[in-house]
């Protein structure tokens, strides 16, 4: 039987439609402030997509673009102002920040109730202690994909490769909260494949193209690929995607293709998997919108 594709784009569209209805029924307009420093093209594209998503859903967005030379103190003053603004429910500081700015101090200066990225230590602590809170967008998207695809987590062996604060750790906490038996693997893990071959649900967030191969996967496992990698070597493209004319065309046109951390050959032994692109990544902005609405409701004492 062929593996089921867990279509992140379709799930994200479903979530956005639900959120649009929710916003229309709120009786007030939630507000998101996005702070972008500098002119990194990738960050600018992300911010534009976030602002556009707000417009679609009826969320007010404020885009702030302070000068790239600002100091930590300058940015702390901006955060302080946004913390106090009644029209701002969520604050998002687009990372990475310039080298001279202390990212930790900036993230910790944000009111936890407005921290729609879920990176503030108060929200991290609440997540690990099973309290309702704002949770990081990408891991929240992973859980939504599993839930909306009817994949049972209770009692499942879940293995997460990667232990970053942004993806690996929070996704592990959320799987634990969803009653999975969770193993977290990382760069120092011995016999990695011994762990991954036990997984009913394997979440991979390491940032290495095609790292997980078919022999590392238990037949019938569910594969969640968080990795986003640009492959610009023609031999790699041919190795990972033999006979894939669409990818070959993309490569010929752009000089690279995007793929995840899981080699496509591994998808063939799974029961279901998230593609890259069009899987986990497709949900991230929808989950940011979800968090903004959640923050807006919580601030007004609504569930």
* Min separation Cβ 186 and ligand NAP, Å: 4
Q: Candidates 57-65, 158-166, 234-242, 287-295 — which segment interacts with ligand NAP by CB under 6 A? A: 158-166
* Options 280, 287, 295, 296; binder of ligand NAP; rule CB under 6 A: 280
* Min separation Cβ 29 and ligand NAP, Å: 26
**Interface with ligand NAP, residue 161, by CB under 6 A:** yes
Tokens describing residue 256 = 């690279």
Positive or negative, the CA dihedral 49, 50, 54, 55 is negative
Closest by alpha carbon to 261, among 187, 200, 183, 204? 204
* Options 281, 288, 290, 293; binder of ligand NAP; rule CB under 6 A: 281
* Options 228, 248, 258, 298; binder of ligand NAP; rule CB under 6 A: 228
Give the separation between CA 50 and CA 54, rounded to whole angstroms: 6
Residue 302 burial (C-beta neighbours within 10 Å; 0-12, 13-18, 19+): exposed
**Interface with ligand NAP, residue 189, by CB under 6 A:** yes
Where in 163-182 is the site for ligand NAP (CB under 6 A)?
163-164, 166-168
* Options 15, 146, 203, 206; binder of ligand NAP; rule CB under 6 A: 206
Residue (88 or 259) nearer to ligand NAP, CB: 259
* Options 99, 188, 190, 246; binder of ligand NAP; rule CB under 6 A: 188
* Min separation Cβ 265 and ligand NAP, Å: 18
Catalytic residues: 50, 94, 117
Cβ neighbours around 236 below 10 Å, total: 17
* Min separation Cβ 163 and ligand NAP, Å: 4
**Interface with ligand NAP, residue 42, by CB under 6 A:** no
Give the CB-side neighbour count of residue 206, counting CA atoms within 13 A.
21
- Whose tokens are 């916003």? That residue is 23
Residue of minimal Cβ distance to ligand NAP: 187
**Interface with ligand NAP, residue 229, by CB under 6 A:** yes
Question: Which of helix, strand or coil describes residue 151?
Answer: coil
Exposure letters 25-53 (e unless 16+ CB within 10 A, then b)? eeeeebbbbbbbbbeeeeeeebbeebbeb
Residue (83 or 164) nearer to ligand NAP, CB: 164
Helix, strand, coil in percent for the chain, rounding step 5: 45, 15, 40
Q: How far is CA 229 from CA 31, 49, 211, 223, 298, in A?
A: 32, 20, 11, 17, 36
- List residues near ligand NAP by CB under 6 A: 138, 161-164, 166-168, 185-189, 192, 205-208, 226-229, 280-281, 284
């Amino acid at each position: 039987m062929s593996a089921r594709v867990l279509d992140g784009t379709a799930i994200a569209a479903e979530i956005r439609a639900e959120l649009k209805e929710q916003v229309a029924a709120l009786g007030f307009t939630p507000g998101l402030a996005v702070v972008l420093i500098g002119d990194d093209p990738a960050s600018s594209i992300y911010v534009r997509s976030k602002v556009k998503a707000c417009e679609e859903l009826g969320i007010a967005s404020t885009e702030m673009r302070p000068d790239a030379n600002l100091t930590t103190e300058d940015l702390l003053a901006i955060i302080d102002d946004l913390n106090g603004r009644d029209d701002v429910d969520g604050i998002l500081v687009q990372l990475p920040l310039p080298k001279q700015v202390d990212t930790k101090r900036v993230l910790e200066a944000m009111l936890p109730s407005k921290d729609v990225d879920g990176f503030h230590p108060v929200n991290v602590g609440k997540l690990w202690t099973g309290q309702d809170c704002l949770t990081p967008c990408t891991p929240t998207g992973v859980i939504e994909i599993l839930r909306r695809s009817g994949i049972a987590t209770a009692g499942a062996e879940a293995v997460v490769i990667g232990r970053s604060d942004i993806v690996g750790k929070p996704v592990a906490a959320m799987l634990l909260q969803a009653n999975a038996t969770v193993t977290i693997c990382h760069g120092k893990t011995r016999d990695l494949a011994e762990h991954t071959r036990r997984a009913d649900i394997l979440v991979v967030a390491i940032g290495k193209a095609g790292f997980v191969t078919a022999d590392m996967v238990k037949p019938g496992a569910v594969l969640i690929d968080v990795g986003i990698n640009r492959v610009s070597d023609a031999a790699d493209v041919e190795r990972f995607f033999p006979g894939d004319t669409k990818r070959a065309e993309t490569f010929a046109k752009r000089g690279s293709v995007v793929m995840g951390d899981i080699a496509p050959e591994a998808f063939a032994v799974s029961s279901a998997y998230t593609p890259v692109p069009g899987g986990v990544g497709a949900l991230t902005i929808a989950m940011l919108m979800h968090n903004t609405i959640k923050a807006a409701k919580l601030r007004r004492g609504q569930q």
